[in-house]
Amino acid sequence: MADLLVTGTDTGVGKTMIAAALILAYRERHERVIGFKPAETGVVGREESDSEILAKASGLDDPRARPLLRLPEPLAPAVAAERARMVVAPADVERRVHDLRAAGFRVVVEGAGGLLSPLAFGYTSLDVAHRLGLDVVVVARAGLGTLNHVCLTVDALAARGVRLRGVVLNGRSPQPDAAEETNPDALTRLRPGLPVLVVPRLEDTDTLLVAYSAVPLVVSLL
């Protein structure tokens, strides 16, 4: 099986938690796995960064898996980097993944924002998946608006010939509203054969603990 890219339909949909859960699921199968987020933005004032959570899930902090850039403003990486007079170089992103593969790791890459959010101008998470041969897991909100966002993302992947492992509707309420209740079935009717998983909302501020609880739900994506 190919390595993974975890992308989202938007920012703040829980990509890091799902990426961590996938890493933990691989580790439960005794695979040597590591998470890698090429660029982090909005890092100021956060108790724990996404890359730190991925490192904890991986069980090690390998310098090759640290972000190429950590930027203070909560913007798309290409924009945040430009404002900081820096740049995310596509060749550097791909070299890191190749280096981690050469070291014997299965790699779980976490994108930034949505699938077409630019890491560099002219270079998106879709390009990363296509050029590195990554399968993709899409993380989306459980509620209203997700049908459009998921279908657009799924169609963009299909147009580039990138394999989709599945869609995770993340954060379903304990008492789901009409949109949360009907979205899984609606998606499989809109895109027949689409694997859709639902992960409930857990009221815990520790992302890694939430990820542990999601492992039994995401293991079917491996």
Question: What pLDDT sits at residue 203?
Answer: 74
- Among 35-44, 146-155, 204-213, the least confident range: 204-213
Question: Crossing angle for the helix pair 50-58 and 207-218, nearest 10 degrees?
Answer: 60
Calculate the dihedral angle through the C-alpha atoms of 72, 74, 76, 77, rounding to the nearest 10 degrees: 20
Contact 118, 78 (CB under 8 A): yes
Q: At residue 45, does pLDDT exceed 90? A: no
Q: Which of 15, 37, 149, 165 is catalytic?
A: 37
Q: At residue 59, does pLDDT exceed 90? A: yes
Question: What pLDDT sits at residue 205?
Answer: 76
Question: What pLDDT sits at residue 29?
Answer: 96
**Mean pLDDT score of the chain, rounded to an integer?**
95
What whole-number percentage of the chain has pLDDT above 70?
100
Q: pLDDT-based confidence at 123, cuts 50/70/90? A: very high
Question: What pLDDT sits at residue 111?
Answer: 96
Residue given tokens 């895109």 in the structure block:
191
Q: What is the pTM of this model?
A: 0.96
CATH of the domain at 68: 3.40.50.300
Q: At residue 46, does pLDDT exceed 90? A: no
Domain count, the chain: 1
Q: At residue 76, does pLDDT exceed 90? A: yes
Q: At residue 47, does pLDDT exceed 80? A: no
Q: Mind listing the pLDDT tens digit for each residue in 104-121?
A: 999 999 999 899 999 999
Is 37 an annotated catalytic residue?
yes
Q: Mind listing the pLDDT tens digit for each residue in 174-210?
A: 999 999 999 999 999 999 999 999 999 987 778 999 9
User: Domain range holding 133?
Assistant: 4-221
Mean local confidence (pLDDT), 79-88: 96
Helices (H), the chain: 15-28, 50-58, 77-83, 90-102, 125-132, 146-159, 178-190, 207-218
Question: What pLDDT sits at residue 192?
Answer: 96
